A = this chain, B = another copy of it.
């Protein structure tokens, strides 16, 4: 293998696959990135057994990418990334000598790294399915950023550590819950899906994938299998395992009719809750109590050792009903933050019923926060 490549092009590709480099030392070869050079196409692959990322460099103009000899080798991921990042030259030469020695050099720098034979790399399929589902990158990114935070971090409830993707016809419904709150996003696909799917994607993995997406809004293909999913977009393939198990049915959590709907500016409401929760900030689920008196909203919290706080703001309501209800400030704030709209509607059903947060400006998103009984 022997090539010359523009630094920026190689660095961009390395950054993409680097998230999958294994940092555990269980399988040493997975700490490496597989380089495969064939004709004028360089394929980089990294995998930590949980996710696999592959990207290709091709279609680059001749002056930025020259191939002298084809070949394959595994280069230690952490070092190659650091080397390419820190080299200041415009072009970088990479050459395999003596079978498993890798020379990385420019005019004044020469790195000589120990490589690993390609034959030791596990066989990773990255197969595509015939029945793919297409979704715009920007929409997938919104789905993930608006729902993943509501997943559980507790490995004792594996299904709740993922986002449930439900595809029926041209409707994709995504749910994420840790059993104290729920984030739901429903979007329409451009094409009707041939198959129906009901899968659970690890939240941590799909968060990594949407980070790679950047700002482009290209189509992402979802290739869904029994136990894994392949995301394919542009020159990137990203594969994640799926979580086994049945996702809880969350539809029954969504109340039919609200007792009262309160409308408010998101930022203003967020800041009030933020202040009211200061005194309870030591606790994991800082509880605040909300009460309406006509169009006055009163928020309170207290802590025996520290003191108590009360904040007031003016809101508009759809009727004269009043409510008094307690909830986790942290969960409510995270739910509010997930909206990119200016206002939200808070649907109250009753003191011990879930609180629904929706926005007329974006009806694809629903957040739900369970109340906390304080007496």
Chain A residues in the interface with B (C-beta under 8 A): 76, 79, 82-83, 86-88, 101-102, 108-114, 271, 274-275, 278-279, 281, 305-313
Contacts and interface: CB of A to CB of B under 8 A. Distances in A.
Copies in the complex: 2
Nearest 6 interchain pairs by C-beta: A113-B307, A108-B312, A111-B309, A82-B278, A86-B275, A110-B310
Contacts of A82: 278, 281
Contact of A275 (B87, B281, B311): B87
Given A79-B278, A79-B279, A271-B88, A109 B306 contact: no
Given A83-B278, A109-B275, A111-B279, 5 more contacts: A79-B278, A86-B271, A86-B274, A110-B309, A111-B309
Given A87-B275, A271-B86, A79 B109 contact: no
B114 A313 contact: no
B109 A278 contact: no
A87 B274 CA distance: 10
17 contacts: A79-B278, A79-B279, A82-B281, A86-B274, A87-B275, A101-B307, A108-B311, A108-B312, A108-B313, A109-B275, A109-B309, A109-B310, A109-B311, A110-B310, A111-B307, A111-B308, A113-B307
A309 to B, nearest CB: 5
Contact of A306 (B79, B271, B275, B278): B79
B305 A83 contact: no
B274 A306 contact: no
A313 B107 CA distance: 10
Nearest to A114: B307
Nearest to A298: B108
A282 to B, nearest CB: 9
